[in-house]
């Protein structure tokens, strides 16, 4: 079939009622086919079609407002969503909470690999990823609300080892994006911050007899250099050219997101003003050695990179993120997953394969809840569907996992004084509980595999043992009974407790009385 150039509205007309849509994008507008999503949404608003869609996306997509997955978050438009990360679309989270859609959550790498396996017409994806977590059918099987009743995953035993088999997707329409299309219909992505799982999403649609619709910024004369083609014309059905397409939500095209930089320039002050973040990230950074392959998660843990930059050590490690990027300086906040001056860019699917092979020496991740057995929850709490993104794929395969977070939440205020931590106001919500609401990281499983885990807070550090959490360090100025044990729902193992390193409590250069984010 010859690739056809259509308008966004003409392309949207090819999405049928009841179709399964595969989306390949990331937050901040990374690789997001914004105009295509808007056209599908516009058609639904005008005609009530397409309706009863199934939407699949591996990573978080949106701006917490109107873009990305938010464009599908209308009652009747979508009946089922399988997402790796949901928090960029509060509207879709509400539909899930109100039981107006069937909501499923899977690890991001699982969804990315299922695109590939489904496109190759294989019988699903067999992996250890997700064992003993919410994705395991002995827990929730990825079901995130009562309306989600399908069995999408099962336990297998192969050669005496347990695995999960995630059932294949039947993708009807792939919505993906690139930068340019050539005269033959090949798609390039020169100006994109990452290529994510766009190829695998297109494979899933084409392998199941579906269609692939690609949004690009421009047409080019002749043929692209084959080394610049990331989506061959043979996989493309329709192309929509959108000259106003922006690289991210913040800029039309920022060369810093694809041009290399001198790694020796990655130095400078951390800029951290919150003493909680500063202490936690300083302590976490002490676990990172020159030459380590390092992964940084979203939120507080991402600020470990700022500490490494301040210490002049950022260029001494190999940064690797699930979006498929290596090195550079990681972007934070709404542009998380992108990097200034990356040194390499591969697909998310290949990146997750490499992660599964044990590439990561150290990962620094967040923790919303932690329990006595060392389980961590970041994927669902308070009745909200959050999703883990790449957290499960990464934490289950890294040699060392460092979970970073405040000891309590909602109102905690501290300051640093004479090398000590002073608690000015305790948080109202305990984060260390007897049992987490949902298991995103399975502590006992990690311990049985011999994986190392630390749980770093502003006032103490725990480590994972086969018997559960052990308290191993306490901040100077902190009383174990008053400031730690009194706020736990369980008693941790206590043997030899050291003092947290003094360098973690060095003065900040700005206001030291900032609330935790």
Coil, strand or helix: which one is 134?
coil
Indicate if 263-505 has the same CATH topology as 4-241.
yes
138/475 Cα distance (integer angstroms): 39
Strands in 43-185 per DSSP E: 53-57, 78-83, 102-105, 125-127, 153-158, 161-166, 173-177, 180-181
Whether the Cβ atoms of residue 166 and residue 125 lie closer than 8 Å to each other: yes
Domain 263-505 sits in CATH 3.40.50.2000: no
Q: What is the pLDDT of residue 463?
A: 98
493/484 Cα distance (integer angstroms): 13
Whether the Cβ atoms of residue 376 and residue 130 lie closer than 8 Å to each other: no
pLDDT tens per residue, range 30-39: 999 999 999 9
pLDDT over 60 at 90, yes or no: yes
All structural domains of the chain with their residue ranges: 4-241, 263-505
pLDDT over 90 at 335, yes or no: no
342/330 Cα distance (integer angstroms): 9
pLDDT over 50 at 513, yes or no: no
pLDDT tens per residue, range 11-29: 999 999 999 999 999 999 9
Q: Is the peptide bond before 335 cis (omega within 30 degrees of 0)?
A: no
Q: Average pLDDT over the chain, rounded to whole?
A: 95
- 48-62, 235-249, 254-268, 363-377: least confident range: 254-268
Q: How many CB atoms lie within 10 A of CB 245?
A: 22
Q: Which one is predicted more confidently, 180 or 381?
A: 180
* Homologous superfamily in CATH for domain 4-241: Glutaconate Coenzyme A-transferase (3.40.1080.10)
pLDDT band of residue 510 (cuts 50, 70, 90) is low
Q: How many CB atoms lie within 10 A of CB 209?
A: 9
pLDDT band of residue 265 (cuts 50, 70, 90) is confident
Q: What is the pLDDT of residue 493?
A: 97
The pair of structure tokens assigned to 267 is 């130095």
Q: Show which residues are catalytic.
A: 322
Mean pLDDT calculated for residue range 495-512: 86
């Amino acid at each position: 079939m010859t690739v056809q150039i259509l308008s966004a509205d003409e392309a949207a007309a090819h999405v049928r009622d009841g179709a399964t849509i595969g989306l390949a994008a990331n937050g901040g507008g990374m690789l997001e086919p914004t105009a295509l999503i808007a056209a599908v949404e516009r058609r639904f608003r005008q005609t009530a079609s397409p309706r009863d869609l199934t939407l699949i996306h591996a990573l978080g997509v949106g701006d917490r407002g109107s873009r990305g997955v938010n464009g599908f978050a209308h009652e009747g438009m979508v009946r089922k969503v399988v997402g790796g990360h949901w928090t960029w679309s509060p509207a879709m989270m509400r539909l899930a909470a109100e039981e107006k859609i069937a909501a499923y959550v899977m690890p991001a790498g699982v969804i990315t690999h299922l695109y590939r396996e489904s496109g190759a017409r294989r019988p699903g994806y067999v992996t250890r990823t997700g064992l003993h977590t919410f994705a395991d059918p002995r827990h929730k099987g990825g079901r995130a609300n009562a309306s989600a009743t399908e069995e999408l995953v099962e336990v297998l035993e192969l050669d005496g080892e347990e695995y999960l088999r995630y059932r294949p997707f039947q993708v009807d329409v792939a919505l993906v994006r690139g930068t340019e299309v050539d005269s033959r219909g090949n798609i390039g992505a020169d100006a994109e911050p990452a290529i994510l799982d766009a190829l695998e999403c297109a494979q899933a649609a084409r392998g199941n007899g579906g269609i692939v619709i690609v949004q690009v910024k421009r047409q080019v004369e002749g043929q692209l250099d084959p080394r610049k083609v990331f989506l061959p014309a043979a996989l493309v059905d329709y192309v929509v050219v959108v000259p106003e397409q922006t690289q991210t939500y913040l800029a039309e095209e920022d060369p810093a997101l694809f041009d290399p930089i001198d790694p020796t320039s990655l130095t400078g002050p951390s800029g951290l003003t919150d003493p909680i973040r500063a202490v936690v990230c300083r302590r976490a950074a002490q676990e990172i050695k020159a030459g380590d392959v390092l992964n940084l998660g979203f939120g507080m843990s991402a600020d470990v990179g700022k500490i490494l930059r301040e210490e002049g050590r950022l260029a001494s490690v190999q940064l690797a993120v699930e979006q498929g990027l290596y090195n550079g300086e990681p972007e934070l906040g709404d542009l998380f997953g992108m990097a200034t001056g990356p040194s390499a860019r591969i697909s998310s699917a290949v990146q997750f394969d490499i992660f599964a092979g044990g590439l990561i020496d150290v990962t620094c991740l967040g923790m919303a809840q932690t329990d006595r057995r060392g389980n961590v929850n970041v994927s669902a709490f308070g009745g909200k569907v959050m999703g883990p993104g790449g957290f499960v794929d990464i934490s289950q395969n890294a040699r060392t996992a460092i979970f970073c977070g405040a000891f309590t939440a909602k109102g905690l205020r501290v300051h640093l004084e004479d090398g000590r931590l002073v608690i000015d106001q305790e948080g109202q919500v305990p984060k260390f509980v007897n049992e987490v609401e949902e298991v995103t990281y399975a502590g006992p499983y990690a311990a049985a595999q011999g994986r190392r885990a630390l749980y770093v807070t502003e006032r103490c550090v725990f480590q994972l043992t086969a018997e559960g959490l052990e308290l191993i360090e306490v901040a100077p100025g902190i009383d174990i009974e008053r400031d730690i044990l009194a706020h736990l729902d369980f008693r941790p193992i206590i043997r030899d407790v050291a003092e947290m390193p003094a360098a973690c409590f060095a003065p900040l250069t700005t206001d030291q009385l900032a609330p935790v984010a």
